[in-house]
Amino acid sequence: MRKPTRSREVGRGEKVLPGVWRLRLPLPWPGVPHCNAWALAAGAGVVLVDTGMHEPGSAAHLDRALHQAGLKLEHVRLIVCTHGHVDHCGQAPPIAARAGCQVWMHRDHAHHTAAASDPDQALARHVVVAHQSGVPPESVDRWIEGRRSQGTGQAGTLHVDRELAEGDTVATDLGDWRVIETPGHAPSHICLYQPERRLLISGDHLLGRVSLYFDAGYTPDPVAEFLASLDKVAGLDARLALSGHGRPFTDIPGHVDANRALVEHRLRAVQAELEQGPRTAFDIAHAVYGDRFTEATGSWLLSKTRCWLTHLERRGLARRTGGSPERWS
């Protein structure tokens, strides 16, 4: 259901702080025109946090962004991925090969690496879930066709050289950055926190524009995990967030509160739908997201809706009433 849009964006690089560069890389997705990779000065080179996705021309966009920042790909000493989504790790294998460096990622990366190593099986799994969620068969067929023609966004085989966990550190000229486990958006999500400078590389956990997404089907309750991760980040006393999309932002407590408010708002909207009688996840997603629910955005919004339902189910506020497709009340 996700369709590529023709992008006129090009890769851009800019210094945001001494020793910190933002590399803005184009994406072919509706409503998400680019993602950020962050280059952090480290000795004679840089640590690259996130990579952008792999698609035709993506390596040239990265080269262009690095060039604007006065850097070269050969300067990359280490790649750290905030999480296993293709816009954050898609180009990791070719960069690692060209720069001769390692790739570090949180140890719960299998939700991405297992799917990337067997895309046919991952696609088959999506199709089963789509049918079970009540997506019309013709929409599922068009989505499969789109996926087959687009490529996965992941280059080569993603080999993780070091599996990160809470408290691990990444050394740079700005000091050590602490790994903060922040699952919810994705099981493998981490933020990196530099405590002396109070800088937070927030990945997709916290964005300047409040925008939620959860990977469904890998962990028991992504929404609860996300809320716990918000509490954790709120307690860090960070003053500037360098996020996975959009500009850097301050007022981190305000952004955390806005995320919590949007979670509550969506949960209430899903509950209101459930009160209308048994319906499928597809029906609920359609009602909750209205015009924004299209074939281009459907798979994202359905994944979120399944997470809202799972969360309400665990709180005793929703239940599956069976059937095929499955209905909720």
Q: Which of residues 204-263 bind Zn ion (CB under 5 A)?
A: 204, 244
Q: Which of 87, 181, 215, 283 binds Zn ion (CB under 5 A)?
A: 87
Taking the CB of residue 12, how many other CB atoms lie within 10 A of it? 16
Residue 215 or 273 having the CB closest to Zn ion: 215
Collapsing DSSP states into helix, strand and coil, what is residue 266?
helix
- Binding-residue pattern over the window 19 to 38 for Zn ion, x denoting contact by CB under 5 A: --------------------
Q: Which of residues 188-207 bind Zn ion (CB under 5 A)?
A: 204
Residues touching Zn ion: how many (CB under 5 A)?
Answer: 4
Strand order in the sheet with 162-164: 12-17, 20-29, 32-42, 45-49, 76-80, 102-106, 162-164
Residue 110 or 287 having the CB closest to Zn ion: 110
Least distance (Å) between residue 160 CB and Zn ion: 17
- Binding span for Zn ion by CB under 5 A among 52-60, 71-79, 86-94, 151-159: 86-94
**Helix (H) / strand (E) containing 48:** strand 45-49
Least distance (Å) between residue 185 CB and Zn ion: 6
Q: Which of residues 286-315 bind Zn ion (CB under 5 A)?
A: none
Least distance (Å) between residue 204 CB and Zn ion: 4
Least distance (Å) between residue 246 CB and Zn ion: 10
Least distance (Å) between residue 260 CB and Zn ion: 19
DSSP code, position 75: G
Listed residue (161, 169, 147, 45) closest to 93, CA to CA: 161
Residue 81 or 99 having the CB closest to Zn ion: 81
DSSP code, position 249: B
Residue 85 or 106 having the CB closest to Zn ion: 85
Residue 85 binds Zn ion, judged by CB under 5 A: yes
- Binding span for Zn ion by CB under 5 A among 81-89, 113-121, 149-157, 249-257: 81-89
- For residue 135, how many C-alpha atoms fall within 13 Å in the half-sphere facing its CB? 30
Least distance (Å) between residue 207 CB and Zn ion: 8
Place of tokens 């994202």: 300
**Residue type for position 106:** H
Listed residue (190, 196, 185, 172) closest to 82, CA to CA: 190
Q: Tell me the C-alpha distance between 212 and 227, whole Å.
A: 11
Residue 39 or 86 having the CB closest to Zn ion: 86
| Residue pair 13/6 in contact by the 8 Å Cβ criterion | no
Residue 5 or 321 having the CB closest to Zn ion: 5
Q: Tell me the C-alpha distance between 212 and 225, whole Å.
A: 13
Q: Tell me the C-alpha distance between 23 and 63, whole Å.
A: 10
Is the peptide bond between 325 and the residue preceding it cis, with omega within 30 degrees of 0? yes
Residue 82 or 280 having the CB closest to Zn ion: 82
Least distance (Å) between residue 59 CB and Zn ion: 19
Least distance (Å) between residue 48 CB and Zn ion: 15
User: Which structure tokens are listed for 71?
Assistant: 């850097």
Residue 202 or 310 having the CB closest to Zn ion: 202
Q: Which residues in this chain contact Zn ion in the complex, by CB under 5 A?
A: 85, 87, 204, 244
